[in-house]
Every structure is written in C-alpha cells, then in structure tokens.
Amino acid sequence: MKINATDDDEPGNINSKIAYSIVSQEPKGEQMFFLRKNGELFVRRPTLDREAQESYTLVIQGADLDGAVGGNVGTGTVTVKILDVNDNIPTLDKDR
C-alpha cells in the first residue's frame, strides 16, 4: 500500500517533501507493519490471520522537510482489513 499526503508549499522544494512514519497500531502488541519514509506500507511478517484479527488501525504521521526537526507534521488514520483465505485443512469427524 502507498500512503500519500500533499503539501501546498512549492513542489520539488524540501518544504514540500514529506517523510512518513507509524505513530501507533491498534491492537497493540507485535508490530505487524512497517512503513518506509517514502510512504510504502508493508506487512512485517506473513502471519496475518483474519480468524485471529480482522483489522488493524494505524496512525500515520507525515512530516514535511523530509522529516527534519522543525518541520510541520500531520497525522491520519489507516485501517487495514484482513481478507479471509482458505487456510484450514478439512478434517473428518470419524473414520468409516
């Protein structure tokens, strides 16, 4: 997934270059995602399971000046919904 924010400062200027980071994840616990500075969001481990957790809510921060100290920041919320897949082996109740 790609996170995208806009800054009304002059395009191509450091004032309009935005760096992204994850502020928080719900539910808390093991961090299931990582976010590159350029806004590309990835699953950290291939262990997402809809039966265990249907969705995750991330608070994402965007900071201009490419994340340098003194820049302006804003936050947004991203909800990642986990799709169900056929990942359970069928079992028989009794042998015939």
* Range 11-37 average pLDDT: 93
pLDDT of residue 96: 62
* Range 17-25 average pLDDT: 96
What span, in angstroms and rounded, lies between the C-alpha atoms of 86 and 13?
A: 48
pLDDT of residue 31: 93
Please write the tens of the pLDDT for every residue from 28-66: 999 999 999 999 999 998 888 888 899 999 999 999 999
What span, in angstroms and rounded, lies between the C-alpha atoms of 14 and 11?
A: 8
Binned at pLDDT 50, 70 and 90, residue 13 comes out as confident
